Structure formats: structure tokens, C-alpha cells
Amino acid sequence: MVPSWDDKYSIGNSDIDLQHQKLFDLAKKSFIYANKNVSREEIRGIVAEFFEYMKEHFKDEQEYMELIGYPYLHEHTMIHKDIIASMAGLIKTAKNVNDLKENLLLIAEKWLVEHILKEDAKIEKWRQANLEHAENELIEEQPKQYKYTCGCPNKIHLVPPYIHEKIVEGKKFSCMTCKVVIKIKLS
């Protein structure tokens, strides 16, 4: 049985997550169709809908992975190609409605849901780790600030580099409290 969508399956991109939700819905629909008396055309309809939506989703997901710099894009793209090729093969080799139903269940459960729960989860895990690394780098790369004094007792003005450079070029800045021109603090 196909699990229901849960936010824990999110990969941190609302568009991709909405597509995943639709794919979960299509997988559920597949289970319903596979377990009731339906015509070959009805089964072909759900298979075609699944197939087309999956191709669109894979294209969008690959663009997202490229956008975030996912290092395993090539490998993930190859998995997508394998899924599409296998799906096409299962559709072509189905001899009757029961074969189509069985193959549809296989597609829905094994390739699609397992792919989202396992392979796509790796994208979010990488993105989160990369995001934490980037945040740590930002914290470490805070721009140097220069210490300046004025006429106020024990007051230090932290001046960013672009203001410091203007002061070095001759521009004067005064303390807003004491109105004295600030000067670089000699340590």
C-alpha cells in the first residue's frame, strides 16, 4: 500500500513538494484502479497520466537540483531515465489488463514512492547540510569592523570597512551624542 503524503517527505522546495504530493495521489489512484474491475482503457489512462506527469516532474526536479548545485545530479538523472525506460517497458510488455494493473502497482510502489522516500530525500539531506555549512561560513566571514573613539567616556564606535575607507580618504564623521569627530582607536 502506498503511504500518504507527509511533510517529512519534503525536499525544501514547495513546487517539487506539490508535485510529489500529486505523484502520491496518482500512486493511490493506481492502487484503487488495480483493485477493482476496470477496462484496459481506464488502466491505460491512469498509466498515461502517471507517465506524463512523472516525466514533467523529473525535468523540474533536475532543474531544481542544478539550481542548488546538487553534486549527485548526474547519478539522480540516470535513475530518472531508468525509471522512465523501465516504465515504458512494463507498459509495452503487458499482455492483458491484469498485467497492466500489476505493472502499474509496481511502478507506483517500487519506483515512484521508494524513489521519493529514498533518493529524493537525499537531495533535502544534502541541501540542509549545505545550508548549515553556508550559514557557518557567513558567520565566520563577518566583515572586519574598525574601532573608533569620540569624546564620550569609554564609548567605542564599530565602523564598517567602507566608512573606515572614507575616513582614511579625509571624510569626517562625528559622534551623534558628543558631536566630536571620531578617531581610530589605537590599541
Residue ranges per structural domain of the chain: 7-140, 146-184
Count other C-beta atoms under 10 Å from residue 178's C-beta.
13
Q: Alpha helices of the chain — where are they, by DSSP H?
A: 14-34, 40-68, 73-93, 97-106, 114, 121-140, 161-168
Buried residues in 35-72 as b, exposed as e (16+ CB within 10 A): eeebeeeebbebbeebbeebeebbeebbebbeebebee
Q: Which pLDDT tens digits describe the chain residue by residue (187 residues)?
A: 667 888 888 887 888 889 888 888 888 888 888 888 888 788 888 888 888 888 899 999 999 888 888 899 999 999 999 888 888 887 788 888 888 888 888 878 777 778 888 888 888 888 878 776 555 554 455 567 788 899 999 888 887 787 788 889 898 888 878 889 988 887 6
Q: In CATH, what number does 7-140 get?
A: 1.20.120.50
Q: Report yes or no on whether pTM surpasses 0.85.
A: no
